[in-house]
Structure 1
Amino acid sequence: MADDIMLKHESLVNELKQYLGNAKFDLIFKSKTAELTKPEQFLIKMEMSRLSQPVERFIDLRGLVTGQVKPYEHNGKQHFMDETAIEVFESALKQHGKYTLAVYEAVMNTENNHRVMQKEAAEKGNKQEQEDLLNTNVIKFASYESRAEERMNYSIKVTIEYNDKKNIKASTSDISLSGCKIKLAKRNIIRKGQLIAMRLVGLEQDFELGLKNGIQYEVVAVENISREFNHIRLKRTYVENNEAFDNFLESFIHGNKRRYKVNLDN
């Protein structure tokens, strides 16, 4: 019920956020919510109170935004933000008079934040899909047939599942939109042509990827790299048909390619 009310008045809530810190906020709030019911007024007022609470949260945007992150000190505490986030932080701090939850949330929702970009891409994809359904019949023959694309040397924790084996720990060596290479302990026997499900646990800690069953890959090659590990080359099967995730991964690679080496060896 409360979530429904907040969603219904989302635009009003966003408008009222702009007046937080204003000496006349109570008068503004009363004027803006005059036509709402008492329960609606109460819930929105509670949200404003929540956002006005002072916080001491540490901000670390390393790997979360497209900008170049650097140390930034405030009140004796060092944060890590890019120029866009710093500008938002200082502007919001000036508005609210102190470091509040509203300031923190503003910094975590800048337009160059990967999570925000992912959400916008999903909304754009859903809108485009609806328009396509209305305007034409789409026949999809194939997609991403080769891996001649930006492949970023990027290491994150993953888990894989195949046959009856579950939650096998591994890490990526590189990743692209249509494939990746993982480092896997030799005790895990895996062969060319094997289908696996992979969870990007290193990214799922920070982003809502919407992949409950992971991503399906096919093993392309198994390469011996040491006495303990193999490199497993994988290509996506695209059985998920998840355009929102594809858009997120593409923007994530594009946004971080200046910070990590891009591998074009196909």
Structure 2
Amino acid sequence: MTQKADSRVTARSIADDLRDQIRDGTLGPGAALPTTRELAEHYGVTMKTVSSGVDLLKAEGLVVGERGGRRRVRSDRPITWNLTRFERGRRRDSAAMDDWSTAIKEAGREPAQHVEVATLPASKEVAGWLGVEAGTDVVVRERMRTVDGRPFQLSTSYFPASIAAGTPLTEERDVAMPGGILNAIGHPQLRVRDEITVRMPSPEESERLALPPGTPVAQHVRVGFGELAPVRAMVTIAPGDRHILVYELEV
């Protein structure tokens, strides 16, 4: 850690210096920051000023606190989510794992999905995605996706009840079929349309995904179309610190 030459050290300048050390690897993923007292002595400021500077890094999601007051550099291993390959062409679904879980497994990580199912009236937004009247019954499959035991995605799929009723889509468990469930029940997705929004999470999303303060999320909406109409709308909330989103396009 380099001693600051400027005598007018502020919380902001402390945060800037520590951020530079995190970015250049001097303070690597999982590394413990010096104690507040050590930083105060190093920068020649009060411990209150140091705490304010470290709080800025916590708000940015670069530093996390532990029980006992020690602060560490975040050490999450992000996943690379290739949205071009996801659910495309020769899907990787099997009887044991769907396309998403298979991709995570192939990357050497451990996937799991925890499923809840309900039949609800479509909101105006969901109705717009599915091309139905607002209030029409839709089957909702909400999945908490975890990687190595940690929450990584909230993924909620909406299906017209006329398509999903009486099929495995209504089963409250992690169901998978070769080629995908929609294909297996006679309603294959022939094309998809993606919408991606980057935003701050809601309080519920922050809690369920265990997000540190200041962590944005990507909201990925994929609408799947059959021959005549949409057959599914899937909304995935992906924490920005745990994902690298990839598209591969021919130009």
In proportion to residue count, which structure has more strand? Answer: 2
Q: Same fold by TM (over 0.5)?
A: no
TM-score of the superposed pair, with normalisation by structure 1:
0.30
* Higher RCO (C-alpha 8 Å, min separation 6): 2
